[in-house]
A and B are shown apart, each in its own frame.
Chain A
Amino acid sequence: MTDFPGLLSRLASNEVAFIIIGGAAATAHGSARLTLDLDIVYERTDANIHRLAQALQDLEPYMRGAPPGLPFRFDLATIKRGLNFTLSTTLGALDTLGEVTGGGDYQALLAHTIELDLFGVTCRCIDLTTLIRLKRAAGRPKDLEVIAELETIADEQARPTDSP
């Protein structure tokens, strides 16, 4: 299981610049669907990559699904050589993405975020309109139901509060 408060607190306390996307963002917007991991887009500056590595260093980050025992180190050099990492940690599953299809990188997405205050942490989350756009851009059949639910959420939010 994913310890969302734990992961978010760890990232925030290490001043990592990140944006919540994916299923967790959908939950933030009101989705009723189960998601098992936390997806974030992180800023790919050297300083922020260093902060990200520091934030996770004692959480035993490892490539999710990879055979055990590989010499994997989630450090500055590894993160700089890669882009998107699907990780398991002692606080649960964490996907760290440098870029997302249809949305770009952290800087491109930042203008399309909202601020969330939860579990004593302030963090940024992709807004609903952009989340829908990202899901469409991903083009996966499994996201068709997700897109439908997100659009329904948008419809409900747009409905006047005194409507039945």
Chain B
Amino acid sequence: MWGGKGITLEWSFFLARRERVGILNDEDLFTMAQREVDIDPVTELYKRDVDRTLISQNLRLSVQQRFEQLMELQRFAEELRLAGKRGKSID
């Protein structure tokens, strides 16, 4: 019903609910038209939780350094996993 470029399923449900309860207005339609370009509202919501300081930090590294960091992270993740298996309750 609200399909189209840039209109995700979640956004479609949101707008359909607003229409059903009679609060979909011209402003909503205008906003929807404006956003019907390349902006995915779901992605925009997720972007709020992205840590930009980590991204900025990584972009200062060379590609090789980024992979070396990834491998360190893999080793750390594995160590945490093993520690979790060995872990005991404090009770």
Interface positions of A from 114 to 164, Cβ below 8 Å from B? 116-119, 144-145, 147-149, 151-153, 156-157
Contact, CB under 8 Å: B43 / A153: no
Question: Per-position contact with A for B19-57: 1 when CB-CB < 8 Å, else 0?
Answer: 000000000000000000000001100110111101111
A30, CB-defined interface residue at 8 Å: yes
Q: Chain A contacts of B74 at CB under 8 A?
A: 1-2, 34, 36
Q: Give CA–CA (A27, B71) in the complex, Å.
A: 11
Main secondary structure of the interface of A (DSSP, over half): helix
CB A136 to nearest CB in B, in angstroms, measures: 8
Contact, CB under 8 Å: A145 / B46: yes
Count the A residues whose beta carbon is within 8 Å of the partner chain — how many?
Answer: 27
On whether A35 and B52 interact (CB within 8 A), knowing A1-B78, A151-B43, the answer reads: no
A48, CB-defined interface residue at 8 Å: no
Name the residue on B nearest A136 (C-beta).
B40
A32, CB-defined interface residue at 8 Å: yes
Q: Give CA–CA (A149, B58) in the complex, Å.
A: 12
Contact, CB under 8 Å: A35 / B70: yes
Contact, CB under 8 Å: A32 / B51: yes
Q: Give CA–CA (A61, B80) in the complex, Å.
A: 27
User: Out of B46, B66, B70, which one reaches A34, CB within 8 Å?
Assistant: B70
